[in-house]
Amino acid sequence: MTREKLSLFDTTLRDGQQTHGVDFSLDDKQRIARALDELGLDYVEGGWPGANPTDSDFFDAAPTLSRATFTAFGMTKRAGRSAANDEVLSGVLNAGTPAVCLVGKSHEFHVTTALGITLDENRENIRDSFSHIVAQGREALFDAEHFFDGYKSNPDYALACLHDALDAGCRWVVLCDTNGGTLPEEIGRIVREVIASGVPGEKLGIHTHNDTETAVAGSLAAVEAGARQIQGTLNGLGERCGNANLVSIIPTLLLKEPFASQFDTGIPVEKLADLTRISRMLDDILNRVPNRHAAYVGASAFTHKAGLHASAILKDPTTYEHVVPEIVGNARVVPMSNQAGQSNLKKRLDEAGITVEKGDPRLGMILDEIKLREDQGFAYDSARGSFELVARHILGQLPTFFEVERYRVTVEKRRNAKGERITVSEAVVVVEIAGERIISAADSFFGESEADQGPVHALSAALRRDLGRYQDYIDDMKLVDFKVRITNGGTEAVTRVLIDSEDAHGRRWSTVGVSENIVDASFQALKDAVVWKLIRDGAPV
Amino acid sequence: MTREKLSLFDTTLRDGQQTHGVDFSLDDKQRIARALDELGLDYVEGGWPGANPTDSDFFDAAPTLSRATFTAFGMTKRAGRSAANDEVLSGVLNAGTPAVCLVGKSHEFHVTTALGITLDENRENIRDSFSHIVAQGREALFDAEHFFDGYKSNPDYALACLHDALDAGCRWVVLCDTNGGTLPEEIGRIVREVIASGVPGEKLGIHTHNDTETAVAGSLAAVEAGARQIQGTLNGLGERCGNANLVSIIPTLLLKEPFASQFDTGIPVEKLADLTRISRMLDDILNRVPNRHAAYVGASAFTHKAGLHASAILKDPTTYEHVVPEIVGNARVVPMSNQAGQSNLKKRLDEAGITVEKGDPRLGMILDEIKLREDQGFAYDSARGSFELVARHILGQLPTFFEVERYRVTVEKRRNAKGERITVSEAVVVVEIAGERIISAADSFFGESEADQGPVHALSAALRRDLGRYQDYIDDMKLVDFKVRITNGGTEAVTRVLIDSEDAHGRRWSTVGVSENIVDASFQALKDAVVWKLIRDGAPV
């Protein structure tokens, strides 16, 4: 059975960029565009050329896309001038993209109130804009703004706007639920009516927003009703509550019925394995903490906590997982937690290379210690490095490579000789290794490429500056991330610091420290990171 | 027209608690239960008595709910013993709750593989368990686990399980999409078929999970198909990708068609105004950062960024908002950002009590300064206190109350006289006020009730210890939150610190600092917090 083509249109770089706090650099945009193209999307909307400098620069240095159609966004011409004489529209066309997507009004109220023009003038703006675009040899798309509200208010007018665009040669008309207030059932119903009015489904797109937490479902409902293009963004990035999340939609289209059998998105199933990485890439670019609970790609998406589920999972994963994690580039996680049982723990120890026989009483002791520490504020779900050290300690398999006699950190802000205000972080660490006492100091002008978090960096550098016989083992360690959280430790607030370290082998491990004191908490995490590395690399005791 | 009753069942304290990293204290559970009861939910599932100590304690000290039916969760009896002799089930019944909800298998594969019993034995377990519950005078609910997969695999068996439960006297049978893989359209179809098989809609519930990001839509689809109970959690809390989010569902049921006209949830529309607060309360309890982009209650839910939308919004909010923000206890935000225009800025200044005429060139200067600083890593969307100070500075309305000559922070870990390891943070701050030079010190045993983040706390305390003539103005200031983020400042990574302060008037304000150095960044934010307070309280210059 031949599958129908279903087009995917990404607007991360345009609608996503409109989000509070988002401002992609030129380099960011190029990385994202390439990733979208490699994934196999049909359209990449790059922004609004002329609207802001990074957008214009991006179109000037347009990425070479091998599959996706690069699209410029703009708006229909304004009243009182021709399409050719609207300089904003010219700016969009001058970007020279193969496709142009213009937003225009289809809701009578917006025409008369927001724009302050007549209904006929608006239709003329639509017709003339798209005729002009098509005459320039571009593929034209019409984003019909506030379509669903407009259709409910004056269906004839809303439909007329769509038909005007199609008659002028638009390849696609996209129904936009601009304020996100339309529910999926209604979206489906209206899409069917739009198609019944003579708009071909193969030319119809859907663009939802997540203001009722149904953007994904609304997109699917539109496709079930006959639409054949979905507009969305990576990670649902977008204003207010976000856009339709393509990272949730794509796996559903490829893996679940009725979509998998009925539609061909052009994205090969194997490409799904890149999805988690692409999702994280965007989080990295935005310096956002990834959503653990994201569908398909979230760190917790295949994480099974409750003891009850976990043993059934290990017997047969299909009992509890709706898709195979690896297919979307994710992984099953059976984490350490307060409620996990010994079967979880044994598995986690196996993964860390520590063998403990089932029924060994020390499994219970490890669980108890983990629980005790978690009550104090430690978090071992994330900090697997530190978790391993706790387990080794209980099992008598934790070597003492060195002792820390003391450490001190000073941060001083003062004026230098030129009278400029400067800040200096200085750390001193005293360790004892094999009977030898080593004092190391470091300050915040240490000059490495790693992120300089002042006191913590100085401490990290001082600790790793001279570890005597172990120096070679830790020379390639880098501090790559550092998260601070105020949390509960018993009855008081404590500071929890999570540190991510990386080495030249590309290994990445997380360690944790907890204290009332942020520097103390950081030091615990730093020390754990070093000890973990020494153990993993088989340093001699 | 008489509306039909639609019941809402909250499982935050049971299914929500199964989440990775969640462990409610007894006090937490009581607060949440009370909030759910006050909101007007029909059922509050408190946990699994006997399964873990906090659950059992909670049932022992059962909250007095004025409206909601307090419910204990458990599982159907195991094979080989009677319901009365199953001690796990007895533990559930002994909690003495008016309602009991038992999960049981309805998917043949799970019966034979996970449980290892025959299909008939499972049905017997269902019948006997519920007969027993009903005979004890409790309201009984059956959570039919993996129902949708089970129905697709062997519909007759799945339905038989439902009918067994109903025949035994269950008040509700709840179709659970346990692995979250069923899409809304299929949920609707199957619900219709279940009702057609003879299960009354008024006894039918739905329990979805968010593994395809459609849990909310799936719940709505089930109701549209005839189900009359929705099970979910606050903020969609739950394992993996979470449960159906009641915070998104409730406003939709109360405000949107066809639900508002057709159903009565028992929650008065006025109660919606508490929703944002309740959502945040749960985030607080879990020490989670609230989801800015959450439907209805997210901080960004009614935040309009792009200059284009913002001026239309200010003209008429209904043009871009699908519901009135205040109705769910939220507020419209027109934030400061890189892309906002002067109309946004002017509004934001108005809100801060600073009047600038439209067209004043200093508006552009403020925008430029904000943008410049945001490129360096500052974030003014959140830090409105600091934003105000930047604006005042440009407008020549920023008084200099005091100068900071220097400050120093030391963190030292050493052994005390008893040989115990201790950590001391000490800060020294030197300020100049009206020609007078004041040196203040503080250390981390300062002993206030505010969270002790060691160095930052010491710095905060030292700064506010003696501000001469201004001391009275700042005595009631408290540091209530402290967030650290590594972000981009130009080409390097910098540390951004956001501080929330509160005073005796209940005012809460946020300030920000950015530096390579966490202590320096903290000091900037602390100083801004003090200056903001002095300005707001009209301290003399």
Q: What digits encode the pLDDT tens for the residues B53-96?
A: 678 889 998 889 999 999 999 999 999 999 999 999 999 999 99
State how far the Cα of B241 lies from the Cα of B237, in Å rounded to an integer.
Answer: 8
Least confident of A75-84, B98-107, B337-346, B433-442: B337-346
Bridge partners, residue A515, by sequence: A495
- Chain B residues in contact with A15 by the CB 8 A cut-off are none
pTM, 2 dp: 0.75
Chains A–B, number of C-beta pairs less than 8 Å apart? 313
| Backbone Cα Rg of chain B | 29
> Per residue, what are the HEC states of B420-450?
CEEEEEEEEEEEEECCEEEEEEEECCCCCCC
Tell me if A4-267 shares its fold with A403-536. no
Instruction: Tell me the shortest Cα–Cα distance from B237 to chain A, in angstroms.
Output: 9
pLDDT band at B421 (very low <50, low <70, confident <90, very high): low
- Chain B residues in contact with A316 by the CB 8 A cut-off are 113-114
Residue A466 has pLDDT above 50, yes or no: yes
- Chain B residues in contact with A496 by the CB 8 A cut-off are none
DSSP-assigned letters across all residues of B190-239:
HHHHHHHTT--GGGEEEE-B-TTS-HHHHHHHHHHTT--EEEEBGGG--S
The H or E element that residue A321 is part of is none
Nearest CA in chain A to B235: A213
How many C-alpha atoms does B148 have within 13 Å on its Cβ side? 27
Between A356 and B416, where is the model more confident?
A: A356
Structure tokens at A419: 């009278």
Nearest CA in chain B to A180: B322
- Chain B residues in contact with A517 by the CB 8 A cut-off are 411, 423, 425, 444, 452-455
For chain A, give the percent of residues with pLDDT over 70: 89
State how far the Cα of B92 lies from the Cα of B109, in Å rounded to an integer.
Answer: 26
State how far the Cα of A529 lies from the Cα of A526, in Å rounded to an integer.
Answer: 5
What pLDDT does residue A470 have?
92
Nearest CA in chain B to A414: B406
Between B533 and A408, where is the model more confident?
A: B533
Residue A334 has pLDDT above 60, yes or no: no
Instruction: Tell me the shortest Cα–Cα distance from A379 to chain B, in angstroms.
Output: 8
State how far the Cα of A459 lies from the Cα of A374, in Å rounded to an integer.
Answer: 25
Residue B48 has pLDDT above 60, yes or no: yes
- Chain A residues in contact with B180 by the CB 8 A cut-off are 322
- Chain A residues in contact with B315 by the CB 8 A cut-off are 113-114
pLDDT band at A8 (very low <50, low <70, confident <90, very high): very high
Residues in chain B: 541
State how far the Cα of A329 lies from the Cα of A279, in Å rounded to an integer.
Answer: 10
Least confident of A92-106, B138-152, B452-466: B452-466
**Tokens 């200059």 correspond to what residue?**
B307
The average confidence (pLDDT) of chain A is 87
A452–B410 CB contact, under 8 Å: no
Between B447 and B435, where is the model more confident?
A: B435
What pLDDT does residue B517 have?
79
The fold of the B4-267 domain, in CATH, is TIM Barrel (3.20.20)
Instruction: Tell me the shortest Cα–Cα distance from A367 to chain B, in angstroms.
Output: 15
Q: Give per-residue pLDDT as tens, B90-107.
A: 999 999 999 999 999 999
Q: Please report the ipTM that was assigned to this predicted complex.
A: 0.75
Residues in chain A: 541
**What residues have CB less than 8 Å from B534, skipping those under 6 apart?**
B399, B401, B470, B473, B474
Residue B338 has pLDDT above 60, yes or no: no
What pLDDT does residue A115 have?
84
Closest CA to B53 of B63, B65, B44, B61: B61
B411–A520 CB contact, under 8 Å: yes
Under the phi-then-psi rule, with left for phi > 0, alpha for psi from -120 to 50, and beta for the rest, what region is B116?
left
Instruction: Tell me the shortest Cα–Cα distance from A179 to chain B, in angstroms.
Output: 5
Instruction: Classify A198 as helix, strand or coil.
Output: coil
B301–A241 CB contact, under 8 Å: yes
What pLDDT does residue A308 have?
52
Which one of A240, A387, A495 would you mutate to disrupt binding with B, by most B Cβ within 10 Å of its Cβ? A240
What pLDDT does residue A122 have?
97
What pLDDT does residue B179 have?
93
What pLDDT does residue A448 have?
30
What pLDDT does residue A310 have?
55
Instruction: Tell me the shortest Cα–Cα distance from A513 to chain B, in angstroms.
Output: 13
pLDDT band at A336 (very low <50, low <70, confident <90, very high): very low
Q: Give per-residue pLDDT as tens, A124-161.
A: 999 999 999 999 999 999 999 999 999 999 999 999 99
In chain B, where are the structural domains located? 4-267, 403-536
Residue A231 has pLDDT above 90, yes or no: yes
Q: Architecture of A403-536 per CATH?
A: 2-Layer Sandwich (3.30)
The H or E element that residue A437 is part of is strand A436-443
- Chain A residues in contact with B309 by the CB 8 A cut-off are 239
